[in-house]
Amino acid sequence: MSKKILKIKLPLHIKIGNKNYYLSLNNYRNWHYHKNNIIKQTFKDLPIFFTLKDMNIDYPIELEYSFYFPDKRTRDLSNFISVVSKFVEDALTYHNVIKDDNYKIIRKVTGIYKGIDHKDPRCELRILKL
């Protein structure tokens, strides 16, 4: 049975200037590599990641993503899981929360659609010890 280590709230988009960049694979593949890097760096610099840098997880974990979308529009969940998970894993590695984002540490990644939240669309990440 998995044991919860941490729960954090993440945005579904990154705002740069006046523009929101939604973190889905459909958008990611169309971003210029320079814009992609800016978005990824901005995500990595979210304040929540700085609060985690002393955790130093060195055992197998599961990343469980729960998505709350802003409206009833039908979305492909895996498009969001792929980009958000990639950005999260890179941020956790960068901030030395995990040594590496390979399968020896991250053994399982799960994405769950939790519903609609017009006021607070988000992704909630639970890090679970396996």
Residue 67 has pLDDT above 70, yes or no: yes
Task: Write down the pTM of the prediction.
Answer: 0.93
How much is the average pLDDT of 16-31?
96
Computed over every residue of the chain, the mean pLDDT equals: 95
Give the start-to-end residue ranges of the domains of the chain. Answer: 11-108
- How many Cβ atoms sit within 10 Å of the Cβ of residue 68? 18
In our burial notation (b when 16+ CB lie closer than 10 A, e otherwise), range 93-113 reads bbbebbeebeeebbeeeebee
The tens digit of pLDDT for each residue in 96-121 reads 999 999 999 999 999 999 999 999 99
Residue 1 has pLDDT above 70, yes or no: no
Right CATH for 11-108 from 2.60.40, 1.20.120, 3.30.1330, 3.30.70: 3.30.1330
How much is the average pLDDT of 84-91?
97
Residue 2 has pLDDT above 80, yes or no: no
The tens digit of pLDDT for each residue in 29-61 reads 999 999 999 999 999 999 999 999 789 999 999
